[in-house]
Amino acid sequence: MILIKRFITPLFFLSLIASISCSEDVTPTEEIQENEDIPIEFNLEIAFAKSLGGSNIDEGEAIIQANDGGFVILGATKSTDGDITDKTIDDTDVWIVKTDPQGSIQWSKTYGGSDNDFGTNIKKTNDGGYIISAVTRSSDGDISTNAGFNDMWVFKISSSGNIIWEKTYGYAGNDLAYNVILTSDGGYLLLGVLDVSASNGEGNVGRINSNHAGGDYWVLKLDSSGEREWSRYYGGTFTDTAYDAIETPSGGFIITGSSDSEDVDINSNIGEYDFWILNINESGDIIWRKNFGGSEIDLVYAMTKTIDGNYLLVGDTRSSDIDIEDPLGNADVWAVKFSESGSIIWTKTYGGTQFESARDVVSLSDGTIAIVSSSRSNDINLTNNYGVNDAWLLLIDNDGKMLSQKNIGGSNLDFGRGITQTIDGNLIITGNTESADGDLNSNKGNYDLLLVKVEKQTN
């Protein structure tokens, strides 16, 4: 079975997280801890918080700043009304919103076909356009072809949102794209998961290994027009899912994701799911691979390069042993800093006695690091909880010391998904919300796309 990050359906995924969080009432700590005294070196104040969408399910997944100072948000929508103006049926489509610097919509466009399509990540290209990774089940509309159940979909749009080119990659099974990055040669690296069993072992170019099964990391090197130059899959006989990548100074790539395999390419499995880090060269050959984690479930979702040239992973952990030194609750935000050779520099947990999960991370221009996550706790590292689940922003320094934190949301479900630094040195966050109180003035129906700007003020 392939580990699916959030694409069963958006509503199902959110309900699953809520039910898991509510059902786990046993913590690794012997007693509930009171809020720790955290030295607050920055104040985090909300400049604006907005709900965007229509009367159905709308989600924000990733966000970047446009060249004109506004913001481009990638997500998904089932709505056909409200802020969605070009959609007439309630399947799920990729949704991209362009706003001005104050968060007011300048244009809104949906992309996809007559089946379900989801956006997963977006990057700004050197010509002012955008490259998008997505998952598609369609074979019509904006999608030229579909080889099976779900395919990877990558497409490039202009600064005004018009499609310049699009490509799908996949076979008969559940093939999912979770990220795309720009490469130094002007091309792209697309990554996610390949259903190796359903593909009958296809998907490699230049590498043959018949021992793989289940779902593997699938990494595709594309040229500037989206044509495949090479592709490789990595992993073992269980589930291995790639979520993020960074190009190294030598021209190779560090790929990160989660794995519960313990064979073939994986020789150091620690627990149920591990953070699995893979260093490959420019041709896709493995240089080194490392597992981080404990004996339970550890899931990584994002990575950033730190100011000193090392790397930081964020996700969540339910473990309380081995690489996890300070477990706090049912699931904690877990950050792992490691060197270019794969050696751990430090690990830290953040959160309270309930359920926290980090989904994105960004290194800031002053050397600090911002992590966006979700939280159900109101103790230890958190001072409050507004409702069922909050978006949670935390700032740490390069050594993992917590500098500040802030809950965002209202009395219902609120999730943080994507974050980036703005040109004025502040932070912009996207996610989803069903609240209409607290930090949010309204809800347009079901889940809305969440857009929040947070000002980072030095004490």
Environment class of residue 250 by beta-carbon count within 10 Å: exposed (0-12), middle (13-18) or buried (19+)?
A: exposed
Same domain for 338 and 287, yes or no, is: no
Same domain for 343 and 384, yes or no, is: yes
Segment 362-395, tens digit of pLDDT: 999 999 999 999 999 999 999 999 999 999 999 9
Q: Could you tell me if 292 and 298 are in contact, meaning their C-beta atoms sit under 8 angstroms apart? A: yes
Non-local (6+) Cβ contacts of 168 within 8 A are 136, 143, 144, 145, 146, 147, 151, 152, 153, 154
Same domain for 194 and 237, yes or no, is: yes
Same domain for 173 and 194, yes or no, is: yes
pLDDT at 242: 98
> What count of other Cβ atoms lies within 10 Å of the Cβ of residue 39?
9
Query: Is 311 inside a domain boundary?
Result: yes
Q: Which of 260, 277, 292 is the last residue of a domain?
A: 292
Query: Which residues of the chain have a pLDDT value below 50?
Result: 1-37
**What secondary structure does DSSP assign to 104-136, as a single string?**
-EEEEEEE--SS-EEEEEEEE-TTS-EEEEEEE
Q: What is the pTM of this model?
A: 0.92
Q: Which of 240, 264, 292 is the last residue of a domain?
A: 292
User: Domain limits at 374?
Assistant: 34-60+299-459
pLDDT at 73: 98
Same domain for 267 and 313, yes or no, is: no
Query: Is 42 inside a domain boundary?
Result: yes
Q: Could you tell me if 288 and 265 are in contact, meaning their C-beta atoms sit under 8 angstroms apart? A: no
Q: Could you tell me if 452 and 428 are in contact, meaning their C-beta atoms sit under 8 angstroms apart? A: yes
Same domain for 372 and 456, yes or no, is: yes
Q: Which of 252, 271, 292 is the last residue of a domain?
A: 292
Query: Is 80 inside a domain boundary?
Result: no
Beta strand 58-65 with 71-77 is antiparallel
The strand pairing partners of 267, in sequence order, are: none
Same domain for 50 and 176, yes or no, is: no
Q: How many separate domains does the chain show?
A: 2
Report d(CA 272, CA 249) in Å as an integer: 32
Same domain for 308 and 256, yes or no, is: no
Least Cα distance to 20 among 319, 354, 415 occurs for: 354
Same domain for 438 and 313, yes or no, is: yes
